[in-house]
């Protein structure tokens, strides 16, 4: 039975939406990673009730929320996590930055796989650390791009000063959900080189078609000892603006280090974020299931459209996330591709150059929107490209 209508148009122009206001009213924004859908009704109801109470003094994490998260981790991954192993965060970008502060002494290196979500590149630099870059391997079959791990490049990027590997799984922007075998290989290399792993798994519930997610820390108790796992309900239930996330750290001394690195700098989570998280995890599953059917439809619509109408573009077929990663090198666009689509097609995409090595000639497209917005944006891109020859 279908309960939620993701085709319903919602006007976000003229609201506080960063996505919709950054480039003006005439531009269709398919860039920043939030979706154009209202949160699940259960979340809206819980927020209404909380607001109606009217008192907004300091809040705190309830046992009910911690237990709901632990229960979910067991149900989804057979991963045993206890409430004391959770540290709540006002956003996962903070989580990445705290990981760098907590783990790395001055002059240390942080390993990342590019192309990658830009805060992975800025977090080490914010802490005065070195970036060690291992580029992912990309192969092409017809129009389709597939990314995999180049283990030689990964090992070669590890230097004597490298202390931390920041993994993104599912990977933004390339849409990979890493397999058990890939995660075992990465964990083995990190163990051999004594690296701590910070695994950002914010997109772990956005699994397309038959993909599955495996937290790297759930592979074994030994691996868990070197892991900081970052998760949040924010992408899954479209509540990113409420800033509620958490780190799972099972090694007590690593957890203490993490708490110390955050102390006095990182605020508590806003109480509306906590309310929304609890409602989402407890009562948002039907909505989430239907969302995934819709996003899967959008992904398939997008790849079919690219195949039929945009043969000069090459794209990933994402396994997870609502993000596609497009190579424009065969389009004939002169200059910056993001600016071309912004100015000529009136469609805002993310500029691939900001995703580090391997991002040149790419743009990232967010298909977490209604099918009609997606169709309109793709048509505008098609017409803009048609003017090129
Ligand atoms: C991999 C990844 N991590 C973190 C974030 C942002 O997290 P937050 O808004 O909780 O800081 C995003 C948002 O796009 C993301 O894709």
| Mean per-residue pLDDT, 287-304 | 98
Q: Within this chain, do residues 218 and 351 fall inside the same structural domain, yes or no? A: no
Determine the Cα–Cα distance for residues 318 and 361; give it in Å rounded to an integer. Answer: 18
Confidence of residue 380 (pLDDT cuts 50, 70, 90): very high
> What does the H/E/C string look like for 318-347?
CCECCEEEEECCCCCCCCCHHHHHHHHHCE
The domain boundary, picked from 283, 318, 336, lies at 283
Q: What is the pLDDT of residue 373?
A: 98
173 CA to middle of ligand 1, Å? 11
Pocket mutation for ligand 1, best pick of 87, 114, 172 (most atoms within 8 Å of C-beta) = 172
Q: What is the pLDDT of residue 1?
A: 64
242 CA to middle of ligand 1, Å? 12
The domain boundary, picked from 283, 309, 342, lies at 283
Q: Within this chain, do residues 236 and 289 fall inside the same structural domain, yes or no? A: no
- Residue 101, domain member (yes or no): yes
Residue 322: C-alpha distances to residues 261, 293, 317 (Å): 32, 12, 10
194 CA to middle of ligand 1, Å? 26
Question: Residue 293: CB partners within 8 Å, gap ≥ 6?
Answer: none
Q: Within this chain, do residues 233 and 259 fall inside the same structural domain, yes or no? A: yes
Q: Which of 341, 87, 360, 80 is nearest to 218 (CA)?
A: 80
Q: Within this chain, do residues 306 and 257 fall inside the same structural domain, yes or no? A: no
Q: What is the tens place of the pLDDT at every residue in 81-122?
A: 999 999 999 999 999 999 999 999 999 999 999 999 999 999
Q: What is the pLDDT of residue 2?
A: 80
- Residue 5, domain member (yes or no): no
Examine the pLDDT at 176 and tell me if it is beyond 80: yes
- Residue 50, domain member (yes or no): no
SS3 207: strand
Q: What is the tens place of the pLDDT at every residue in 12-42?
A: 999 999 999 999 999 999 999 999 999 999 9
Q: What is the pLDDT of residue 203?
A: 98
Looking from the CA of 119 toward its CB, the CA atoms found within 13 Å total: 14
- Residue 333, domain member (yes or no): yes
Pocket mutation for ligand 1, best pick of 213, 240, 267 (most atoms within 8 Å of C-beta) = 240
Q: Within this chain, do residues 302 and 274 fall inside the same structural domain, yes or no? A: no
Q: What is the pLDDT of residue 317?
A: 98
- Residue 295, domain member (yes or no): yes
The domain boundary, picked from 243, 261, 283, lies at 283
Q: Within this chain, do residues 329 and 184 fall inside the same structural domain, yes or no? A: no
202 CA to middle of ligand 1, Å? 7
Look up the domain containing 86 and give its range. Answer: 55-283
Q: How many domains does the chain have?
A: 2
Instruction: Report the mean per-residue pLDDT for the chain.
Output: 97
Pocket mutation for ligand 1, best pick of 93, 213, 266 (most atoms within 8 Å of C-beta) = 93
Q: Which of 239, 237, 236, 277 is nearest to 86 (CA)?
A: 277
Please give all residues whose beta carbon lies within 6 A of any atom in ligand 1, as ranges.
33, 91-93, 117, 168, 172, 200, 202, 232, 234, 240, 245
> Residue 358 sits in a domain of what CATH number?
3.90.1150.10
> Residue 196 sits in a domain of what CATH number?
3.40.640.10
Nearest CA to ligand 1 atom 16: 172
Examine the pLDDT at 288 and tell me if it is beyond 90: yes
Residue 163: C-alpha distances to residues 126, 273, 357 (Å): 16, 32, 21
Q: Within this chain, do residues 252 and 205 fall inside the same structural domain, yes or no? A: yes
Q: Within this chain, do residues 327 and 238 fall inside the same structural domain, yes or no? A: no
Q: Within this chain, do residues 79 and 212 fall inside the same structural domain, yes or no? A: yes
Q: What is the tens place of the pLDDT at every residue in 326-378?
A: 999 999 999 999 999 999 999 999 999 999 999 999 999 999 999 999 999 99
Give the predicted TM-score (pTM) of the model: 0.98
- Residue 253, domain member (yes or no): yes
Confidence of residue 62 (pLDDT cuts 50, 70, 90): very high
Q: Within this chain, do residues 300 and 251 fall inside the same structural domain, yes or no? A: no
93 CA to middle of ligand 1, Å? 6
Q: Within this chain, do residues 363 and 289 fall inside the same structural domain, yes or no? A: yes
Examine the pLDDT at 301 and tell me if it is beyond 70: yes
Q: Within this chain, do residues 242 and 348 fall inside the same structural domain, yes or no? A: no
- Residue 2, domain member (yes or no): no
Pocket mutation for ligand 1, best pick of 32, 119, 238 (most atoms within 8 Å of C-beta) = 119
243 CA to middle of ligand 1, Å? 10
116 CA to middle of ligand 1, Å? 11
- Residue 178, domain member (yes or no): yes
Q: Are 136 and 174 in contact (CB under 8 A)?
A: yes
170 CA to middle of ligand 1, Å? 12
Q: Which atom of ligand 1 is nearest to the CA of 245?
A: 10
Question: In which residue are the tokens 């956003």 written?
Answer: 91
């Amino acid at each position: 039975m279908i309960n939620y209508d993701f085709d319903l148009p919602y006007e976000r122009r003229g609201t506080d939406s960063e996505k919709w206001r950054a480039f003006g009213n005439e531009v269709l924004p398919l860039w920043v990673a939030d979706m154009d859908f209202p949160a699940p009704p259960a979340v809206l109801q819980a927020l209404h009730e909380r607001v109606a109470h009217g008192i907004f003094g300091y809040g705190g994490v309830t046992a009910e929320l911690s237990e709901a998260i632990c229960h979910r981790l067991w149900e989804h991954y057979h991963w045993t996590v206890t409430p004391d192993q959770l540290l709540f965060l006002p956003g996962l970008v903070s989580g990445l930055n705290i990981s760098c502060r907590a783990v790395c002494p001055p002059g240390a290196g942080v390993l990342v796989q590019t192309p990658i979500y830009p805060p992975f590149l800025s977090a080490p630099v914010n802490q005065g650390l070195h970036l060690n870059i291992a580029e992912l391997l990309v192969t092409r079959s017809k129009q389709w791009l597939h990314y995999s791990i180049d283990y030689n490049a990964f090992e070669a990027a590890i230097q004597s000063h490298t202390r931390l590997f920041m993994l993104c799984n599912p990977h933004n922007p390339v849409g990979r959900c890493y397999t058990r075998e890939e995660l075992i290989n990465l964990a083995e290399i990190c163990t051999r080189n004594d690296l701590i792993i910070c695994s950002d798994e914010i997109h772990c519930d956005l699994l397309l078609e038959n993909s599955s997610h495996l937290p790297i820390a759930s592979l074994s108790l030994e691996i868990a000892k070197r892991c900081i796992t970052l998760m949040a309900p924010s992408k899954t239930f479209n509540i990113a603006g409420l800033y509620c996330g958490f780190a799972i750290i099972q090694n007590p001394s690593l957890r203490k280090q993490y708490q110390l690195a955050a102390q006095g700098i990182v605020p508590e989570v806003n109480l509306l974020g906590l309310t929304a998280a609890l409602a989402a995890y407890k009562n948002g599953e039907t909505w989430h299931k239907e969302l995934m059917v819709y996003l899967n439809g959008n992904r398939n619509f997008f790849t079919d459209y690219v195949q039929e109408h945009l043969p000069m573009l090459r794209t990933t077929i994402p396994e997870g996330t609502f993000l596609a990663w497009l190579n424009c090198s065969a389009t004939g666009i002169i200059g910056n591709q993001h600016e071309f689509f912004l100015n000529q097609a009136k469609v805002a995409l993310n500029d691939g150059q900001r995703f580090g090595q391997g991002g040149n000639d790419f743009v990232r497209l967010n298909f977490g929107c209604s099918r009609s917005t997606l169709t309109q944006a793709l048509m505008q891109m098609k017409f803009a490209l048609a003017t090129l020859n």
